[in-house]
Amino acid sequence: MKKSTLGLSGIAALVATTAVLASSAGAAGTLPTLRPFCTTGPIRCQSALRVDIPVVPAATAAHSGYGAQDLQAAYKLASYSATRGGTQTVALVDAYDDPTIESDLNVYRAYYGLGPCTTANGCFKKVNQDGEQGNYPIANPDWEPEIALDTEMVSAVCPKCHILLVEANSADEAIATSNPAQHSDLGAAVDTAVNLGATEVSNSYGTAGPEPDQTFFDHYYDHPGVAITASAGDQDYGTVWPAASPYVTAVGGTELVQDPTTARGWSESVWGSLYPGVLPNDAQGTGSGCSMWEPKPAWQHDAGCAGRTVADVSAVADNVAIYDSSPEIGGWGVVAGTSIASPFTASVYALAGNAKSLVYGSYPYSHTSGLFDVASGSNMTPTTTCGYLCQAGPGYDGPTGLGTPNGISGF
């Protein structure tokens, strides 16, 4: 089996990369090693290219970044990934069209030996926000790496799952403040995914900047019995929507590192902890915090936030390999962002096959033994004013929630 060069045998390269990241988070308050995608509009995807790691154009060439087998090993999923998920349909909601997604997806799957997932064999289906195969929205290269990332993370975690890509007409919904009749293309795409039989729906996007009042759009995500996940955001401490909606599982991000000193063989900290001293508004790191607008779900009991606390759970958000042929990457690139963590977690839900019994994001709260507790790191400096909402520690915290998947029993 082919391996990525920063995979199970690449700890030296990862240590070197960590040093680059730590030193590059400089006094100027910028992160030259990360180039975010989807940088315009009120709704943005939550992913970025690691420009400090070279892109590898050739589809069959060795490349950096964690691959499918690395991710399965890190989260104790390999045996489940090999046998489960065939009855599940994981939907990815994204904006605009990616005309090469089926071929890019299958380059990824071929490299990691996951088997083809195509329209012809019934594994893959692409529709517009009205559920039609064809009449797709306009292409937008800025969103194409995000779409590749989403489909490839489902492939990495749940290669037997069916993949449903629902492409919304735009990501330019109005900000809802007073008019409940306002329409959301991305929200309509979520409804379409559920209507087409999705058992899990991942949303790797969120509002830009401080969370506005989006409660008028919450109804799009209100689907009991379907696992709806949403990225916690990539702008460090602070909440974004729809992760703040009480109807979703809000997924934070971690920095995953091979660690032979641990029984697990891996360790995790808050994604963003490698960037000390960087101004929060300029940095890249997982979102977290206390929503100003959304009510607290019944299953959350943290005392420091009267409203909805983000996140619920978390997963890897850095050093992951994807293949995207668009000009934004042009081959194998290494990406970061909570856009990795949302489809990853939706796919773990799919392996568990438990979505019909779910009541929104409540299940992990009563099954914490199925999670790795992440107890180190922060997405805010200093932490004195935000406490557990920005600082990881034993048990529940904002940046990593209850923890990361340890097999499937937490989902």
- Whether residue 298 is predicted with pLDDT greater than 70 in this model: the reply is yes
Question: Residue 40's pLDDT band (boundaries 50, 70, 90)?
Answer: confident
Choice between 1 and 236, residue whose per-residue pLDDT is larger? 236
319-338 pLDDT per residue, tens: 999 999 999 999 999 999 99
Mean pLDDT for the stretch of residues 246-256: 98
**Furthest-apart CA atoms within the chain: distance in Å:** 55
3-state class of 80 per DSSP? helix
CA dist list (Å): 58 to 10, 63, 117, 239, 332:
20, 9, 20, 38, 8
Coil vs helix vs strand at 152: helix
8 A C-beta contact, residue 70 and residue 13: no
Tens digits of residue pLDDT in 53-112: 999 999 999 999 999 999 999 999 999 999 999 999 999 999 999 999 999 999 999 999
Structure tokens belonging to residue 386: 């935000």
The pTM score is: 0.90
Q: 11-405 has which CATH code?
A: 3.40.50.200
Look up residue 69 and give its amino acid.
Q
Q: Got the DSSP string for 225-249?
A: TSEEEEE--SBSSB--TTTTSTTSE
pLDDT at 173 (0 to 100): 59
Q: Could you give the CA distance from residue 197 to residue 378 in angstroms, rounded to a whole number?
A: 38
Alpha carbons 378 and 345: distance in angstroms, whole number: 21
| pLDDT tens-digit series, residues 159-181 | 999 999 999 999 975 554 455 56
Whether residue 14 has pLDDT greater than 70: no
In one-letter notation, the amino acid at residue 231 is: S
Look at residues 250, 275, 255 and name the one whose alpha carbon lies nearest to residue 266. Answer: 255
